[in-house]
Amino acid sequence: MQREQETWADKNFPNNNRTHQLLGIVEEVGELCHAHLKFEQNIRTNEPHAESKCDALGDIFIFMLGYANKNGIDLQAAIEETWTKVKQRDWTVNSDTGTPVVMVGDTVEVIFRFPEHAIMQQGDKYVVTELLENGVMVRTPSGNKWLGFEHFNLIKKPSEEEFTEYNDPDATACVDDYNRFEENQVFQDREDM
């Protein structure tokens, strides 16, 4: 669809540039807001608000395709990459950062597509060995490796027996350090307000 939009736009609007595309997005967001507001206010009931909202959303997407084309961005890849990160956030569990609550001993599955030469591949499963501010360390055949929060899904919490079996003083220290970091971060956030 992106290439089709590019061909159509080049034929119909050969002088359009990326600024025109961006302003088109903004214009259509305004039209969407107008239709939504009038629907919520229950006024201008003779206007097709639902149809206007659908039309505005479609136009926004078309202008997004044009903006992506003018900036050399693969829009589908950008959406998929961003969605992979966003869907990992759980704001009901962690309202401060949305990052998944992970503990030492949990099993995680790699979801990020690493380069072919990387040790970790999409679908690989690893046990968390350490908690970090921006991710976790996991045990791999070639040693511990870092994974950012957006790079994995939590797939298995250890049973009490597994955690006790896996748990060692260093792992407990990691959890304690992480908990202290979380407490200090909350305190720091309050100071910044």
Q: Could you state, in order of their start, the residue ranges of all structural domains in the chain?
A: 2-81, 90-192
Q: Does domain 2-81 have CATH number 1.10.287.1080?
A: yes
Element (H or E) spanning 131, and its range? strand 125-132
Q: In this structure, are residues 66 and 9 in contact, taking their beta carbons and an 8 Å threshold?
A: yes
From CA 58, how far away is CA 63, in angstroms rounded? Answer: 9
Q: Enter the tokens of residue 30.
A: 């305004």
The pLDDT tens digits of the residues spanning 134-181 come to: 788 888 877 888 888 777 777 766 555 544 444 444 444 444 443 444
- Please work out, in degrees rounded to the nearest 5, the angle formed at the alpha carbon of residue 89 by the alpha carbons of 87 and 94: 160
Looking at residue 134, its pLDDT comes to 77
- Which of 81, 101, 103, 99 is closest to 89 using CA atoms? 99
Whether this model's pTM surpasses 0.85 = no
CATH of 90-192, one of 2.40.10.10, 2.40.30.10, 3.90.580.10, 2.30.30.30: 2.30.30.30
Where is 19: in which H helix or E strand?
A: helix 18-41
Please name which of 137, 140, 139, 141 lies closest in space to residue 177, comparing C-alpha atoms. 137
CB 36 within 8 Å of CB 57: no
Average pLDDT over residues 176-187: 42
